[in-house]
Chain A
Amino acid sequence: MNAASSSTWMWYASRATGVVALLLLTAVALLGLMVSRQARLADLPRFAVTGLHRNLSLLAVAFLLLHVLTAVADGYVTIALDSAVIPFTSRYERLWLGIGAVGLDLFLAVIITSLLRGHLGRRAWYAVHLLSYASWPIAFAHSVGSSGDMQSGWMLLLAVACAAALAAGITWRVRAAARDLPRAQRVHALMAELHARKPRAGAQ
């Protein structure tokens, strides 16, 4: 693929939205890790972190859809719309676009179940939500594999930085979970900590 020779703006738009979507999805995944460990971001209250995770994910999906639609609409290469969602059916770049379609499907599953969260059991929602761990590497592979530019230079650096950030985030999440107190002891620990800080507190 030599996209640089293309003169259509849509081709560029497609690639730009693709890169933004990858960045956004990285941010969304990092925020998701924080939400699951109830971590705080700067001075934001926890529910604001949750809100950011949710809203950025919707933005990311908007960019993903733009990315797909502009790629399909662009006439330079022919990509059928259905091959954007049905994996490995594209005649052009079958492998890398197929991987991208798998990623898109997984993201859509995560988003749709989250929008329907009120109607699903928590367990079912969470099981689907964990698919995001699979979807990110797939999206990453699609990005690097199908783009000539991301295989070198600052674009490659950007991609590697995203992967490194996510790897660090996952490591932190696993460690934090291992440090977790058993549920039955959490409140006691916190009460003890609060009382130690303010020796005057205590009704008797």
Chain B
Amino acid sequence: MTIPNEATFPVASPGSSVRPPASGVPRLLPRTPDGKPGRVPQDLAAHQGTHGSLPYRGGAGRLIGELQAAGLTGRGGAAFPAHRKLQAVFDAARVTGRQPVVVANGAESEPASDKDATLLWLAPHLVLDGLQLAAEAVGAGRAVLYARAASQGRRQGPLDSLNEALARRRDARLDRVPVRVVQAPPRFLAGQETALISHLDGGPAIPAFIPPRPAERGLGNAPTLISNVETLAHMALVARHGPDWFRAIGTRPEPGSMLCTVRRGDGAPRIIEVAIGAPLSVLLARSSSPVLIGGYHGTWVPASLATPLTLDNASLARAGARVGSGIVITLPPDRCGLIETAQVVRYLALESAGQCGPCLNGLPRIAAAMAQIASGRPRRGVRADVERWAGLVTGRGACHHPDGTARLVRSALTVFADEADLHERGRCSASRHAAPFLPVPQATARIEADWR
């Protein structure tokens, strides 16, 4: 752990006398006095007591180099280097002369995920600090916080609590650019960058064709930075404690910690902050059941392959998987992976925006075939059909929805191949066929208004 020196951080503001915390986890989520993960939302006073005040850099562009040194990558799924995104927006602003906008993406449209809602609930001010710092770094004039509506088990929806947090910050005159809170519609694609732009511009939350890239022409045609809320929270820590502190944990190409949504049985998921590169086994149930890594656009991996891996893209690539947005789900031994996958694929097909031919025509076909495989006694050759269709839809949409769906389906057919053989003989190894284990929203879009 290195203590940042004055030379690197000239804008030491009053109150930043707080010493850098130990570099281990949890970093983002609050800790109890004995260092354990806390469960109580951090109000502004508690936040400032823990993290100190907001270290504005005093000018555009200055934070970008520090983010590059820290090696922060996006936590929204793609793991794209954060500094390159900020730089692209900064440059586009220079070229076009338009003032940029910054959007904190907390849509968390993936039903299996709960890490962004948890972060916004427990540590809203860390995200809001990051949003202000990112806005300063690219020279933005306004910011948007895009969040999903209330999730179960929390007394107050995130939108209410976020508006309250913003009001406290206004009282304290913390924020330099105004922040608007916007609710994301409950659509799977709502968090995809161009769908987000379309929604914030008053349209339906459906992906658009690129170019133009949001970094060049996004919200109201302004250069737009879209960052996951967790990425922004990490920025707030890098700005306070410096790149070396940030790199003290994690791997060389993927430094730092990340929030994971872990499901190992029925009930609410656990949100665990781990160092990137930690053994995957700490997130798995002690069973020999397959693991779904990366959520509904992710990959099924057999337990034997998953257990020795670590939680970073270099390691997961060996099993054809990616960290994504940190969803790790162990299938309970009494469930059928084919039934679970078929239900998810049906949901994914119904969430297609229906505007690209291969996606509109391909996903429902794949979903119907998966339902047949799951329900037992499938027609001969269905598996080969699904494989072929999965190949035909991949890379042929305006967004990655068909690609992700195809990835999930293919990995399921590989990992659950024995189970599919059983189904062909009219049997199923699962002992429970009750409610689905993987969360699948029942409400799907039927009219245009459902996309707004």
Contact = CB atoms under 8 A, between A and B. Distances in A.
Interface of A is mostly: helix
A184 B209 contact: no
Given A45-B392, A47-B396, A203-B342, A186 B354 contact: yes
Interface secondary structure of B, over-half rule? helix
A121 B358 CA distance: 21
Given A182-B448, A183-B448, A191-B349, A122 B209 contact: yes
A202 B396 CA distance: 26
Contacts of B370: 203
Interface residues of B, number: 42
B219 to A, nearest CB: 16
Interface stretch (A5-13, A22-30, A53-61, A193-201): A193-201
A187 B372 contact: no
A103 B371 CA distance: 52
A194 B364 contact: yes
A188 B352 CA distance: 10
B350 A119 contact: no
A59 B384 CA distance: 36
Nearest to B355: A183
Contacts, number: 81
A184 B358 CA distance: 16
A194 B365 contact: yes
Contact of B350 (A45, A46, A191, A200): A191
5 closest A-B pairs by CB: A122-B209, A186-B354, A194-B368, A38-B357, A201-B371
Interface of B: 204, 206, 208-209, 211-212, 339, 342-343, 346, 349-350, 352-355, 357-358, 360-361, 363-365, 367-372, 374-375, 377, 392, 396, 433, 444-448, 450-451
Given A184-B204, A187-B350, 13 more contacts: A38-B357, A118-B211, A120-B211, A121-B212, A122-B208, A187-B352, A188-B350, A191-B368, A200-B375, A201-B368, A201-B375, A203-B342, A204-B433
11 contacts: A45-B392, A121-B212, A183-B354, A184-B446, A187-B350, A188-B444, A191-B346, A191-B349, A191-B368, A203-B346, A203-B375
